[in-house]
């Protein structure tokens, strides 16, 4: 459910809309994805903006498969 309380962003990778809760990070959808430092670096080399949790999981898997 998306409310007007937080900023609505579009995933830079898939363009799906999601509610950014950067001011309340532990409640943000992206906090459900636990990335290692190397995985964070991999994602940040590909994208500058916020990504949805689904894309973060896909990129985590992509990184792990590239090892």
Helix (H) or strand (E) holding 39: helix 37-46
For residue 58, give Cα distances in angstroms to 3, 8, 30, 46: 26, 21, 13, 13
**How high is the pLDDT of residue 5?**
67
Q: How far apart are CA 36 and CA 40, in angstroms?
A: 6
Identify the bridge partners of residue 7 per DSSP, sorted by sequence position: 20
**How high is the pLDDT of residue 60?**
98
**How high is the pLDDT of residue 4?**
56
> Which stretches in the chain have pLDDT values below 70?
1-5, 25
**How high is the pLDDT of residue 65?**
98
DSSP tag of 28: S
């Amino acid at each position: 459910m998306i409310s007007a309380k937080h900023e609505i962003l579009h995933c830079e990778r898939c363009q799906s809309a999601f509610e950014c809760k950067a001011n309340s990070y532990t409640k943000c959808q992206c906090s459900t994805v636990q990335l290692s430092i190397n995985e964070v670096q991999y994602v940040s080399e590909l994208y500058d903006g916020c990504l949805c949790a689904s894309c973060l999981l896909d990129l985590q898997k992509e990184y792990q498969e590239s090892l």
